[in-house]
Copies of this chain bind each other. A is one copy, B any other.
């Protein structure tokens, strides 16, 4: 791709150059100027496209998976959401994976661990639990839970519970892009529960209280707090609203944080819950980083690169890096909440964050 702009590659093919390129190819080499404008674009050119998956469309297929395969055969019984531009790596957006998992009462997946980091956001059902490194964590609808990389983890639903459906979020495509994936199945397929239930919540969930030396004793790069319940989250959003916390681009947005650092819950994946007040419509902006949203409450729409995407509870949609986006609550009476997970901790840690407010609508 030639560009007739000073500072950009602009070399016409000639027979001599073509022979030169062929010679270089034999040496497993090439001429930078033949690809420079492509690999150094003026701005990000994600192959991901904006997408919205309606829960009403997906749910029947998720439920059918229960009938079609056992958790034992499938490993995990998940319908994954695949961006049309990222099929070869099974990503929902950028280097993020997402899927919808279903479990019936009494089922339990085998214990494993991997270099990928994972999170779950509970969509429906009661009795779901996760065991992470020996701690059993009870989960209700709209609760958010981590299974950070390297932790032994397994998911299940109590026999006394109901059919449970949740969203999984992972950084598998990122971990693969960096050639770093490792995977292990637990030798006993089931780990021993060695800690009091929800003990991380009791230890680190005090809000603004921590045990002595908590920071010193915790040596992992991820949050020791694993469960972030929805009730406390929603209450915090309402308090933050009253306190004047508001972004023109995101309304009242609070990030889930590691209580030991005030930073993101995991090094590769961040998560947040945002509240759009009744009638609120945000301004548009764009920034580097990929986002996967799920509507957690209410309904509304988002404009992504000029196209309108209407969402209601449990719908999932994605905003690719550098896409112009804004959100609008569809109700004048009730607030609406969007859960999100994203790769912003990675983007920021690597010094790759850039942001741009957009004065006029684009598209």
Contacts and interface: CB of A to CB of B under 8 A. Distances in A.
Interface string A338-351: 00000100110111
B351 A259 contact: no
A179 B320 contact: yes
B239 A202 contact: yes
A97 B30 CA distance: 12
Contacts of A7: 75, 110-112, 185-186, 189
Nearest to A75: B9
A27 interface: yes
Contacts of A77: 32-33
Interface residues of A, number: 152
B73 A206 contact: no
A309 interface: no
B172 A39 contact: yes
A205 interface: yes
Interface string A7-44: 11111000011001001100111111101110111111
Contact of A178 (B76, B258, B350): B350
Interface in A158-211: 172-186, 189, 195-196, 198-203, 205-211
A1 B129 CA distance: 29
Given A179-B320, A180-B321, A250-B212, A32 B76 contact: yes
A202 B77 CA distance: 40
Contact of A79 (B24, B80, B89): B24
Contacts of A33: 69, 73-78
B354 A32 contact: no
Contacts of A149: 351-352
Contacts of A20: 61, 64-65, 68
A262 B351 CA distance: 17
Given A57-B27, A233-B209, A240-B202, A46 B179 contact: yes
Contact of A202 (B206, B243, B289): B243
Contacts of A74: 9, 11, 31-33, 36
Contacts of A352: 115, 149, 175, 178, 180, 268
Given A211-B240, A255-B212, A346-B350, A245 B79 contact: no
A232 interface: yes
A272 B179 contact: no
A335 to B, nearest CB: 15
Interface string A230-244: 001100110111111
A261 interface: yes
A179 B45 contact: yes
A191 to B, nearest CB: 12
A83 to B, nearest CB: 7
29 contacts: A6-B110, A8-B75, A11-B69, A27-B53, A28-B84, A29-B81, A35-B80, A39-B90, A44-B181, A115-B354, A148-B351, A179-B288, A179-B290, A179-B320, A180-B354, A202-B244, A203-B240, A206-B233, A206-B236, A207-B259, A208-B257, A209-B236, A209-B255, A210-B254, A212-B253, A214-B262, A215-B262, A260-B262, A268-B352
